[in-house]
Amino acid sequence: MQGPDPRTRHPLRGEPHTVFLNTVITRPTIQVGDYTYYHDEDHAAEFETRNVLYHFDFIGDRLVIGRFCALATGVRFIMNGASHPMHGFSTYPFAIFGEGWDEGFDMAELGRGHRGDTLVGNDVWLGREAVILPGVTICDGAVIGAGAVVASDVPPYAVVVGNPGRIVRLRFAEEVIERLLALAWWDWPAEKIARNLAAIRGADLDKLEQAV
């Protein structure tokens, strides 16, 4: 047994409420790893348009999500296109309306507040209605609570809750986290993962390190 085919669109008995995300992504600026799924009773397959917001090709920022991530209903990524320049006296986007308001506007000004790509590691759990702001990096093994608004980077295996999102604890001791990151089980071949599911689901790190 090797587990489900990561190219299956609806891996839960064909139910439309859950998709492996990489089967519904079409934009080259969005990259999703194998087995990462999104659950939504009504709009799972529309993740790209309903949940990745203000993502404009002319800006070029990327959303990269790793393998084995679990995204609950309503998770949203706010991309750099939502940002308004703040170096002047007004943040109002006069130029987009044209009719003379665009005269003298330098498109390079749009990039002054951009924060780069948004990156989500592997084995990350994003709770219902969590919001991830532009340029954030969420590292491997992190958990983002329901309704959290994440505006800054999240270290590996941290638990984040609230608005603004704050780290309430680490899931494991730092020495354990270092060993887990070194193992990077999510990069193992499907056959090895299937053979060692008990160790991956469990909490015996020595056993996991002995996996073959």
Quickly tell me which residue has 């397959």 as its tokens: 45
Cβ neighbours around 41 below 10 Å, total: 10
**Residue 84 bears catalytic tag:** yes
Instruction: Report CA dihedral (135, 139, 144, 149) to the nearest 10 degrees.
Output: -20
- Contacts with 21 (C-beta within 8 Å, 6 or more apart), sequence order: 32, 36, 37, 38, 47, 65, 71
Q: Name, in order, each residue with C-beta under 8 angstroms of 127's C-beta and a sequence gap of 6 or more.
A: 72, 75, 143, 144, 145, 146, 147, 148
Angle at 67 between CA 65 and CA 69, to 5 degrees: 75
Q: Please tell me whether residue 200 adopts helix, strand or coil conformation.
A: helix
Task: Reduce the secondary structure of 88-112 to three states and give it as a string.
Answer: CCCCCCHHHHCCCCCCCCCHHHHHH
CA distance 125 to 171: 12
- Chain-centre distance of CA 64, in angstroms? 7
Among the listed residues 17, 43, 84, 87, the single catalytic one is 84
Give catalytic residue positions.
Answer: 84
